[in-house]
Structures are given as C-alpha cells and as structure tokens.
Amino acid sequence: MKVTVDKSAGFCWGVVRTIDIAENQLDAVNEDGKLYCLGDIIHNPMEIERLRGMGLETITREDLTKVRGGKVLIRAHGEPPSTYQRAESLGIELVDATCPVVWKVQERIRKFYEQGFQVVIYGKKDHAETIGLVGQTAGEAIVIKSLEEIDKVDLTRKTVLFSQTTMEKETFYKLKAEFQKRVKELVVDSFEDEAVEFHAKDTICGQVYGRDKKLREYAAQNDIVIFVAGRNSSNGKVLFRICQESNPRTYFIENAPELKKDWFEGVATVGISGSTSTPQWLMEEIRRKIEDGYRGS
C-alpha cells in the first residue's frame, strides 16, 4: 500500500505567519512572562495543544480583565476595533498576528461603511473572522450564508457585498447574481480596484479557492483519501466537500486515533490531505500510523 501526503495541503501563508509570530513571542518571554492568545490560534486542536505545551494560553474576550498588563496575541482571524480599545484601557500589550488578507478585508469594509454603504457579508455569523469584519461597521453589517437570507437586506439601499475569506465560491456567486437582479446600486468588492463601482471579483482567499483543482486531481489519483482538519474549521469543511466530490471514499478525521482499519482493506493507494490550518507534522504522523498499522490490510 502506497501512502502519500498531498504536497499542496497544510498551512496557508497567513497561518504560517501567525504560528511564526506566536513561536517567536514564546521564545522571547522570560520566566516570569506569559503569552495569551485571544481565542484558539487556529481551528486545529492538535496544533493548539502543541503550542500550549510551549506556553501559549488561550483566553476569551471575557478573560481580558484577568490578564491586565499582560501580552495578548491577536490570531489570524482578526478582531473588531472594540477589542483593541478594551486592551488599551487595560494596559494590555497586543501582538497583532491578523492575516494580511483578513486585515485588507477589514480595511475595505470600513471604507465602504464610512461612505454610507449597507455592508452585507457572506459568512458565518459566529465565526471569529466574521465578528471582526462586522466590528468595522459598529455592528451594523448584515451577515448571510444562503439565498434564503437575502430578505434580511434592505434591497433599496446602495449595498456592498463581501465574503468571509474561507467561504465557498459557488454560493457566493449565486448570491451575487441574485443581488444584481434586485439591488440597483451594488458593489461586489475586489482588492484590485479602489473605485466605487460594480466588480466581478470577491474577497474569498485565493489560497482556499486556489486549492480546488489540485485537490480534486489528488483525490482522484488515490483509492481512498484521509482528510485531516479541525472540526471547527470552515476552510476544512469546504475543502473536505471538494475532496469528497472527486473521491467518495474520503474520510474526515481530526487525529490519528480516529483511523479505522476497515477503510484500508484491499486499498493500494492512500492520499492524506488537509485544510489550510492543518499542520504538516500532523499529516506526517498520520502517514506513519497508516504505514505502521494498516499496510497489508
């Protein structure tokens, strides 16, 4: 049985940057120091546990008063302006590791909001990134995730449509088409053009959508695929569905103990892939587990 790890899988550059910042900060703190992260640094419990072992402690917004005067990492998902204001009032030193792509979306949303646009965000209302995006509009942005929710929007107002960076394009383009029919003054925002006019592009991260073709090809080349991701990863859910479309024998796991022996019976080739928040070391660990425990099943 041949077992391979998808070369295009693993951390996107934004996550790599955030993890690097965290590790560098952990190396820099002295014995009396402490580094906190506001929310899970990424949506992968195995990587969270690795960093916890290095001294990174995860906290919530409610915990900020308990770490007054401490050092807190802002993860790749970003935060709303209110978090920065509260941290300043508490004397907390923030280490901002917001993904530059997310930061750019925040900046664009703030600009359109200040110009009087109704801001609509295609995303998940309770997702950390979306909370940060909505915060750029004093909480006024409208979050939708399906065509059925369009009625939440005032279709008579000038409107700009954005996307959470890890959402899927298929639904986004359906929303865009429907808004084009029903909204007289509509902007579907792009990074490239600063002009306030209609654009066909979106704010979905290219490293998420760009993996589509490669992942489909990789999945089709293997008898089965083990897809590794945190269950709370939006990006992981999108990429898993893409993988499963090309290879129905795709199995979602979070860690090696979830592997099942009967998956490998009569299998000649096994592919291992993952989300943009899945660490390379974890996929390699799962590869070794399969080779050691299931080869020849």
Alpha helices in 81-168, H assignment, sequence order: 81-89, 100-114, 128-134
* Model confidence at 5: pLDDT above 90: yes
* Model confidence at 194: pLDDT above 70: no
47, 79, 129, 168: the catalytic one is 129
129 is catalytic: yes
Average pLDDT over residues 40-58: 93
* Model confidence at 295: pLDDT above 90: no
List the strands of the sheet with 2-5, edge to edge.
2-5, 269-274, 224-228, 250-253
Place of tokens 């394009």: 169
What is the value of pTM for the model shown?
0.81
Range name among 89-93, 145-149, 230-234, 242-246 with the lowest pLDDT average:
230-234
* Model confidence at 190: pLDDT above 80: no
- Residue 90 contacts by C-beta under 8 Å, 6 or more apart in sequence? 64, 65, 67, 68, 69
CATH numbers and ranges of domains, the chain: 2-10+209-293 (3.40.1010.20), 13-98 (3.40.50.11270), 101-164+169-203 (3.40.1010.20)
Average pLDDT over residues 162-168: 86
pLDDT band at 30 (very low <50, low <70, confident <90, very high): low
Between 167 and 127, name the one with better pLDDT. Answer: 127
The fraction of the chain above a pLDDT of 70, given in percent, is 90
Q: Residue 189: its pLDDT value, please?
A: 62
pLDDT band at 198 (very low <50, low <70, confident <90, very high): very low
* Model confidence at 74: pLDDT above 70: yes
* Model confidence at 28: pLDDT above 70: yes
